[in-house]
Copies of this chain bind each other. A is one copy, B any other.
């Protein structure tokens, strides 16, 4: 059975987002502040390093009952015992991921705009949630598409009943309009990974998200 998941405050983290910081300790602090779901993303990591980091995060997250998703790497998710994968438009197709993972893993899919949504239509039956964005311009992900704003988010939101997490350049102050536009939650990287106090940053963001509901 697939794990329960809560998109409210979705942290995307990995060594590149946490230079000079400890990956597990940083994510633990964020989870103690209220992060509800974690994705590990480190596209340039060697496979063995990524497996080890994923395993370490999964071990830490287990008692918190916070699921761990691996960006792109189906093989790493299986090897490390993670809870799912998050696929970009250039990654494996969702049908392939579902075939390899079976029914017990979560699958998320990035959709940049209504055109990408249309292109992904046949994937939708195999995914558990969508990541929609970038909402704002972001320096974190070099290959992200054009910022779509809350207006662009609302256009994708109108096309599907799947749970959606908004992503891309989001930080304090962004939650209310996105939650009102139908986002189940917000995904962040630097708003938490770049914060001096990731626990406090997560706490503040989750409070904003819950207040907007």
Identify the A interface with B (CB < 8 A). Answer: 46-49, 51, 72-76, 78-79, 89-93, 96, 99-100
Which residues does chain B contribute within 8 Å of A46, judged by CB atoms? 90-91
Q: Which residue from B47, B51, B92, B99 sits with its C-beta under 8 Å from A47?
A: B92
CA distance A92 to B55 in the complex (A): 12
Provide a sorted-by-A list of 10 A–B residue pairs whose CB atoms are within 8 angstroms.
A46-B91, A47-B92, A51-B96, A74-B79, A75-B92, A75-B100, A78-B100, A79-B92, A79-B99, A79-B100
* Contact status B49-A92, CB under 8 Å: no
Which residues does chain B contribute within 8 Å of A75, judged by CB atoms? 73-75, 92, 100
Q: Which residue from B48, B72, B74 sits with its C-beta under 8 Å from A93?
A: B48
**8 closest residue pairs by CB, A with B:** A74-B75, A46-B90, A75-B75, A79-B96, A47-B91, A48-B90, A47-B92, A78-B100
CB contact under 8 A between A51 and B90, given known A75-B74, A75-B100, A100-B78: no
Which residues does chain B contribute within 8 Å of A91, judged by CB atoms? 46-48
Closest B residue to A49 by beta carbon equals B90
Min CB gap A95→B, angstroms: 10
CA distance A96 to B78 in the complex (A): 9
Closest B residue to A45 by beta carbon equals B90
* Contact status A48-B92, CB under 8 Å: yes
CA distance A10 to B132 in the complex (A): 43
Which residues does chain B contribute within 8 Å of A100, judged by CB atoms? 75, 78-79
